[in-house]
Structure 1
């Protein structure tokens, strides 16, 4: 499936990662899996998906991938004209993840 990254919430963070680090390598592995039509991570219940993702991306399904160093990758899967596409929506540390999802 085609994979793209959100230009404001994913790409800038991804570009700042250490290219030799475990976090970067795990994100790259996740991208390769998605490109090979392998869904990875945990599907988030629609009732738990922050409204931010719903209004910004209008995705059909949202997934969370746990990464090294307690980082999280949130991506959505969209069906456009019968083609599946993955949108890497956000990459952040655990504290920012908790804030986005309203956890204490």
Structure 2
């Protein structure tokens, strides 16, 4: 499936990662799995999805991937013209994750 990243909430975090780090390798592995139509991570229940994602991306199928160093990757699966696409919505550390999800 096609995979793209949100230019504001995903791309800056991803491009700033150390290319030799375990975190970078795990994110890259997740992207590669998604390109092969392999769903990765835990699907969030509808009531767990922050309105930020619903309003910004109009997504209902949202997944969370736990990463090294307590980082999280949040992505959604969209169907556009009958084709599934993965949108990497946000990559952040545990504190920012807690804030986004209201913990």
Which TM-score bucket, shorter chain as reference?
Answer: over 0.9
Q: Could you say what secondary structure the match of 1:89 adopts? A: strand
What is the deviation of 1:81?
1.1
Runs of 4+ in 1 over 4 A off after TM superposition: none
Give the RMSD, CA atoms, in angstroms. Answer: 0.5
The yes-or-no answer on 1:38 pairing with 2:46 is no
Q: How does 1:70-85 map to 2 (within 5 A)?
A: 70-85=70-85
Q: Which runs of 5+ in 1 are unaligned?
A: none
TM-score (norm 1): 0.98
Q: How does 1:1-104 map to 2 (within 5 A)?
A: 1-103=1-103
* 1:45-100 Cα distance to aligned partner (Å, 9 max, x none): 01110000000001130000000000000000001111000000000000100000
Q: Which runs of 5+ in 2 are unaligned?
A: none
* Alignment size in residue pairs: 103
TM-score (norm 2): 0.99
